[in-house]
Structure 1
Amino acid sequence: MSFSRRLIHASLLAALALGGGAFAQDKTPLKIVVGFPPGGSADTLARLLGEHLRDQYAPIVVENKPGAGGRIALNLVKRAEPDGHTVIVLPSGPMVLFPHVYKKLDYDAVKDFSPVSLIANFQFGVVAGPASKAKTVGEMVQAAKAQPGVASYGTPGLGTLPHFMGVLFEQQVGAKLNHVPFQGGGPANTALLGGHIDYKFDVVSETAELHRTNKVRILAVTGAQRDPQVPEVPTLKESGIDMVATAWFAMYGPANMNPAARDRLSKAVAAAVKTPALRERLLGLGYDAVGSTPAELAAAQAADLKRWEAPIKATGIQLD
């Protein structure tokens, strides 16, 4: 190699050495962890969001770590390096319900995580499968009162938001159902379609298409307004049941997350969900796009922690 070529080669190596930190960081994957199986609502949302973040964070990896209602995934993120490369997308339940539900929770929902951004608000559906003859919530309640504890309902897991939606529903209507927990919304759908359970409480997007094709029947939705995915379905309030309950999806990182990385990601998520394309896509799935600062997510979490405390204690449910 000539002297001039050696000089150019050395200069290139020096430039890479000086700029290598930023270059390597740009190429480090952004891992979005999901605590539920592929195909469920959290997984779908994480993948949609990832597609809209690729211009800034390529490559992006969505990693499913299902089990324990999302706690396995939360503990993975809890132990991750707080450098901004590992985050979790999850529904609000593990962050606002589990602290009141579990006697010994293996994480602190406030101290062990860094809020990044709210993503979207959503509501739930009360869904009847082929095993049920109920065409309305009124018929469902009437049958449940006639045979307490016989009719079953499935959820994505013990102590999850849909589980407590079912518990609150039972309290409100004065009927007893048999709760059957699954490892995610997908397996619960399979059981519902197979006639192994009668009903399902879950995010509307999990069964909207099945409802439209007459494979299941969404009897009511839990929000204050009807869901745009199934506008013909009444709310519980419209069905004569005084119950309104919604939840949210959000992104968190490990505690003490690098502030610059956290703020950059928070702004990117908020900007992504507010783009017309993603906002419309989320609306079609029954999600009301939000986007927020870390402080706004922290405030929403604190408010819901307080909101759910009394209702959960009233149920007397305590899990190990």
Structure 2
Amino acid sequence: MKRRQFAAQAAAFAAAAAIAPRSFAQERTLRILVGFPPGGSADVVARLLADKMRVTLNQNVIIDNKPGAAGRLALAEVKRSAPDGNTLVFSPSGALVIHPWLYPSLGYDPVKDFTPVALAGTFDFAVTAGPGAPAGDLKAVLAWMKANPTKANYATSGAGTVPHFAGQLLAQASGVPMTHVAYRGGAPAAQDLIGGQVPLMVDTASETIEHHRAGKVRILAMTGAQRNRSLPEVPTLKEAGIDVTANAFFGLYGPAGLPAETVQRLDRAVADALRAPDVQERIYALGLVPTHAGPAELAATQAAHLKMWELPIKNSGFKAEG
């Protein structure tokens, strides 16, 4: 009797031991930090990816919003985290390719302090006119701004952002001096655009695309090299006669020293998520492009954008605070 009881207990112990590693993996939580409030494009895309990644990885994946300092707080926290694959950051490129040229005490090195995991999307910017601007195409609006310099203002979601400097490039290329009006996010900027307080806005298409479709504002041009799939009727700046191209990207990063096998596993999960038709449809609807590339390609893209923005930022004379 005792022998049979011992054998049964041993079998039960062996069975529990066999499933323990899988149970442990399922209980581990992957935390993806987003340095912006819920509802913005970075947050929406990160949540779409997380929903698919938790299935592929067979573990819990949560989005942790850590807004502040235009994404820098989230990056700084990931820099300090252990390289165990449990803490990542999903970031638009500005904090990694724009801010290094603006802040002498950034708090992180955009190359040395992070491990690239996957490029997860690309996007350009919409040049949008509100009711405070006259009717007509981009050239007509620019002509009006040139004739009315006190009204030649453009809004963005913040100072020291890619849209801020894309607007500066537009001003320089068109020969129309413009005053930048920085808001704390794209939503309040869009509301003032709709209300006529500011005539022009330069920001991600996701901030104004629904208002454009509703007829409240007019997207006059996009800053990408090709027309945006979700806005095929809208010309690029080059098609509108302005020799400017500007775009950005979303990247998933871990702290420095993330093991190669962990990076590979996470990258595959991102790739799988971006192949899902429902994810692609939702991202395209925001005016973004669901684009996947691996860690090496993400590192190369980041390096190219760092180099691309150096001179425009230095030539702008803009001085960041903080």
* Fold match (TM-score > 0.5): yes
**Structure 1 spans left out of the alignment, 5+ residues:** none
Distance in 1 between the 2:77 and 2:264 partners?
22
Match of 1:61 in 2: 62
Where 1:125 maps in the other structure, the secondary structure is strand
Once the 2 structures are TM-superposed, how far is the Cα of residue 182 of structure 1 from its aligned partner?
2.6
Match of 1:316 in 2: 317
My pick for the range that moved more, 61-70 or 275-284, is: 275-284
1:17-166 aligned at under 5 Å gives the runs 20-57=20-57, 58-166=59-167
Once the 2 structures are TM-superposed, how far is the Cα of residue 102 of structure 1 from its aligned partner?
1.7
Instruction: Give the letter aligned to residue 48 of structure 1.
Output: L
Structure 2 length normalisation: TM-score? 0.90
Where 1:273 maps in the other structure, the secondary structure is helix
Q: Deviations over 1:10-69 (max 9, x none)?
A: 764565567545532332222121111222111111111112212124422112222211
Name the % identity.
47
Are 1:178 and 2:179 matched, yes or no?
Answer: yes
Match of 2:296 in 1: 295
Match of 1:208 in 2: 209
Where 1:124 maps in the other structure, the secondary structure is strand
Instruction: Give the letter aligned to residue 69 of structure 1.
Output: A
Distance in 2 between the 1:190 and 1:17 partners?
58
Once the 2 structures are TM-superposed, how far is the Cα of residue 294 of structure 1 from its aligned partner?
0.9
Cα contact 1:69–1:158 (8 A) shared by 2: no
My pick for the range that moved more, 208-217 or 269-278, is: 269-278
RMSD: 2.3
Instruction: Give the letter aligned to residue 205 of structure 2.
Output: V
Distance in 2 between the 1:152 and 1:159 partners?
16
Q: 1:143 to 1:261 in 2, by over 3 A?
A: same
Distance in 1 between the 2:5 and 2:154 partners?
73
My pick for the range that moved more, 48-57 or 163-172, is: 48-57
Distance in 2 between the 1:139 and 1:4 partners?
91
**Structure 2 spans left out of the alignment, 5+ residues:** none
Once the 2 structures are TM-superposed, how far is the Cα of residue 251 of structure 1 from its aligned partner?
0.8
Cα contact 1:68–1:157 (8 A) shared by 2: no
Distance in 1 between the 2:4 and 2:317 partners?
79
My pick for the range that moved more, 127-136 or 288-297, is: 127-136
My pick for the range that moved more, 207-216 or 21-30, is: 21-30
1:218-297 aligned at under 5 Å gives the runs 218-297=219-298
Distance in 1 between the 2:31 and 2:13 partners?
29
Distance in 2 between the 1:103 and 1:174 partners?
31
Distance in 2 between the 1:12 and 1:127 partners?
66
Q: 1:319 to 1:13 in 2, by over 3 A?
A: farther
Cα contact 1:129–1:192 (8 A) shared by 2: yes
Structure 1 length normalisation: TM-score? 0.90
Corresponding pairs, count:
319
My pick for the range that moved more, 127-136 or 297-306, is: 127-136
Q: 1:240 to 1:257 in 2, by over 3 A?
A: same
Distance in 1 between the 2:272 and 2:218 partners?
35
